[in-house]
């Protein structure tokens, strides 16, 4: 790994991975708080419609993909409020509808498009300096916005009615959260791809939830676990010469399973102790 770090492509991959790992896992804590784990999957898959328009129309594919994702992010909270449908149901419509548009648009373009595979499964080792710049820009913007509104966003995500009663603009904040998520998802597609991007949003945050004793700890642990997943996945993939995106997700999954096992073991031990104390008295 140290040797391969001498190569610029590996340096770019590492930097892009770390940026994405930190930002997705931070936003993932809010996703876990809002119990909207399906959001990342729906927006990532729906962005295929934008990628398809880009591929067929000769545009940089991530630009129309970002337009689709941000459009969904802007509309989602309003749709949730005016309709009689829950967030999950709306997302359940958005994912197949936009994906179907994407597949239909792609069918207009003859032949096989090899770059499509990199959007589906990620291609971190081919991230360009320009791509890295865009990822860094999104990461800095997301972290700056979270530093400013993060506490209010926690309040709005945990207790929307209470936040509204306290004078917080809940609708605007939740829409802002959706837009940040949409931009982060698009910036992460080049790293882990459409199929796996939701894993980076959810798994480090879920692992942190299992390990943390407070919400504050969860916000510290989640980005650390995101970084560990990216580093571990990249090292493992360079050792065994495997695709990096799936390796990162697998590594994150192993950390999650370890934390889950630990939590289950501790719960069992507590129950056993309580039963033993009950029997003794």
Partner 1 sequence: MRALDVKDLTVRFEGQDRPAVEEVSFNLEEGQIAILIGPNGSGKSTVLKAILGLVPSTGDVHVFGMPAAEARRQIGYVPQRLAFDMTLPLTVAEAIRMQLLGARDAEAEEAFHHFTDALGVTHLLGKPLGTLSGGQLKRAMIARAMVTRPRLLLLDEPEAGIDVGGEQTLYELLQRLVTHHRLTALVCSHELDLVFRYADQVLCLNRRLQCVGPPAETLTADALATLYGPSTALYRHRPQGMP
User: Taking contact as CB under 8 A, which single stretch among the options 15-23, 212-220, 229-237, 249-257 is the one that binds partner 1?
Assistant: 212-220
Instruction: Kindly state whether residue 212 participates in binding partner 1, applying the rule CB under 8 A.
Output: yes
Pair of tokens at residue 247: 């390796």
Buried b (16+ CB within 10 A) or exposed e, 53-87: bbbbeeeebbebbbbbbbebbeebbeebeeeeeeb
Q: Which is nearer to partner 1, 12 or 177 (CB)?
A: 177
Instruction: Kindly state whether residue 261 participates in binding partner 1, applying the rule CB under 8 A.
Output: no
Q: Site for partner 1 (CB under 8 A): which residue of 213, 240, 277, 280?
A: 213
Contact predicate 179/74, CB 8 Å: yes
Query: Residue 39 Cβ, how far from partner 1 at the closest point, in Å?
Result: 15
Query: Residue 209 Cβ, how far from partner 1 at the closest point, in Å?
Result: 6
The residue whose two tokens read 């492509």 is 9
Q: Annotate each residue in 73-92 with x if it binds partner 1 (CB under 8 A) or - if it does not, as one string.
A: -----------x--------
Contact predicate 160/154, CB 8 Å: no
Q: Which is nearer to partner 1, 99 or 156 (CB)?
A: 156
Instruction: Kindly state whether residue 260 participates in binding partner 1, applying the rule CB under 8 A.
Output: no
Q: What is the DSSP string of 5-63?
A: GGSHHHHHHHHHHHHHHHHHHHHHHHHHHHT-THHHHHHHHHTHHHHHHHHHHTS-THH
Instruction: Kindly state whether residue 97 participates in binding partner 1, applying the rule CB under 8 A.
Output: no
Q: Annotate each residue in 163-182 with x if it binds partner 1 (CB under 8 A) or - if it does not, as one string.
A: -xxxxx--------------
Contact predicate 25/204, CB 8 Å: yes
Q: Which is nearer to partner 1, 239 or 273 (CB)?
A: 273
Please report how the helices 62-82 and 87-107 are oriented relative to each other, as an axis angle in degrees rounded to 10: 150
Instruction: Kindly state whether residue 218 participates in binding partner 1, applying the rule CB under 8 A.
Output: yes
Residues that bind partner 1 (CB under 8 A): 32-33, 35, 84, 151-152, 154-155, 158-159, 161-162, 164-168, 209, 212-218
């Amino acid at each position: 790994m140290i040797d391969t770090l001498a190569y610029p492509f590996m340096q770019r991959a590492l930097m892009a991975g770390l940026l994405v790992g930190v930002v997705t896992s931070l936003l993932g804590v809010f996703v876990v708080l809002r119990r909207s784990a399906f959001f990342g999957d729906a927006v990532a898959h729906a962005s295929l419609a934008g990628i398809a328009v880009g591929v067929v129309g000769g545009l940089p594919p991530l630009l129309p993909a970002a337009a689709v994702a941000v459009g969904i992010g802007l509309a989602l909270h309003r749709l949730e409020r005016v309709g009689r449908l829950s967030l999950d149901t709306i997302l359940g419509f958005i994912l197949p509808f936009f994906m179907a548009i994407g597949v239909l648009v792609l069918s207009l373009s003859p032949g096989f498009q090899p770059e499509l595979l990199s959007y589906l499964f990620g291609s971190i080792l081919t991230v360009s300096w320009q791509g890295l710049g865009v990822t860094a820009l999104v990461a800095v913007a997301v972290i700056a916005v979270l530093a400013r509104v993060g506490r209010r966003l926690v309040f709005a995500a945990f207790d929307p009615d209470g936040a509204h009663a306290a004078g917080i603009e809940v609708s605007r904040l939740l829409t802002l959260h959706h837009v940040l998520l949409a931009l982060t998802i698009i910036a992460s597609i080049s790293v882990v791809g459409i199929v796996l991007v939701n894993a980076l949003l959810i798994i480090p945050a879920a692992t942190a939830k299992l390990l943390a004793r407070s919400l504050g700890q969860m916000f510290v642990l989640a980005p650390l676990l995101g970084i560990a997943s990216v580093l571990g996945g990249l090292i493992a993939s360079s050792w065994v010469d495997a695709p990096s995106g799936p390796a990162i997700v697998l590594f994150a999954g192993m950390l999650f399973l370890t934390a889950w096992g630990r939590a289950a073991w501790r719960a069992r031990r507590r129950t056993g102790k309580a039963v033993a104390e009950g029997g003794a008295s």
